[in-house]
């Protein structure tokens, strides 16, 4: 006889850079539930995280921040303001004005679907030969991070660091990431 499954909690308490948030725990399929960190509109958390990430990135020499659309854009903007370095956003859909864009496929844990990331021709030229920091809000499976890496390398950029507000899942998988917190995964019924 197997032990009964314990349902996941309804929330998870997170503290980042002195800011506390009560994150909802949501089932995402496949018997998995995650604590959802949605930084859109949370200026207090975004700015505190940007200041802390800037401190942790401090000794590294880099030219530009590279992130993916959409939830990590406020973080990239805030970190850009704090550090004085520009940021580039990989888009999730191709637009005709993007020209000879680079593209890579990723898999989202929250949607469960494949998605694409695009680097437009203008930003491709801006990355060539530059030292970059890859930035995300939460690194879950690493698929978006892998996409950022692939695009950066194809654009001939040099990756000097990878950073996020939080990592998720197996903490041992993210040893090289500069992260301010770690989120556990939960089993859902």
User: φ, ψ for residue 31 (rounded to 5)?
Assistant: 75, 20
Specify the DSSP class assigned to residue 4.
P
The answer as to whether 34 is a domain residue is no
Query: Which structural domain range is residue 83 located in?
Result: 39-182
The answer as to whether 70 is a domain residue is yes
The answer as to whether 2 is a domain residue is no
The domain total for the chain is 1
- List per-residue pLDDT tens for the chain, 189 residues long: 454 556 677 899 999 999 999 999 998 878 888 999 999 999 999 999 999 999 999 889 999 999 998 899 999 999 999 999 999 999 887 788 877 777 777 766 555 677 888 888 889 889 999 999 999 999 988 888 899 999 999 999 999 999 999 999 887 888 899 999 999 888 877
Tokens of 153: 């390398």
Q: Is the pTM of this model over 0.85?
A: yes
Cβ atoms 175, 147 nearer than 8 A: no
pLDDT score recorded for residue 158:
97
Tokens of 81: 């303001």
The answer as to whether 150 is a domain residue is yes
Tell me how far apart the alpha carbons of residues 182 and 107 are, in angstroms, rounded to a whole number.
20
Instruction: Return the CATH number at 46.
Output: 3.40.50.2020
The answer as to whether 11 is a domain residue is no
Tell me how far apart the alpha carbons of residues 146 and 153 are, in angstroms, rounded to a whole number.
11
The answer as to whether 7 is a domain residue is no
The answer as to whether 151 is a domain residue is yes
The answer as to whether 13 is a domain residue is no
């Amino acid at each position: 006889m197997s032990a009964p499954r314990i349902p996941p909690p309804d929330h998870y308490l997170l503290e980042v850079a002195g800011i506390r948030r009560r994150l909802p725990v949501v089932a995402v399929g496949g018997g998995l539930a995650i604590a959802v960190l949605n930084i859109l509109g949370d200026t207090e958390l975004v700015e505190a995280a940007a200041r802390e990430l800037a401190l942790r990135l401090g000794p590294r020499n880099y030219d530009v921040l590279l992130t993916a659309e959409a939830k990590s854009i406020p973080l990239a903007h805030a970190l850009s303001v704090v550090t004085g370095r520009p940021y580039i956003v990989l888009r999730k859909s191709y637009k005709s004005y993007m020209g000879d864009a680079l593209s890579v496929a990723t898999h989202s844990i929250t949607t469960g679907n494949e998605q694409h990331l695009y680097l437009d021709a203008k930003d491709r030229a801006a990355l060539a030969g530059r030292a970059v920091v890859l930035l995300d809000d939460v690194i879950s499976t690493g698929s978006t991070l892998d996409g950022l890496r692939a695009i950066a390398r194809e654009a001939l950029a040099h990756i000097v660091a990878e950073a996020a507000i939080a990592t998720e899942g197996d903490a041992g998988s993210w040893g090289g990431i500069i992260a301010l917190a770690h989120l556990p995964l939960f089993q859902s019924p």
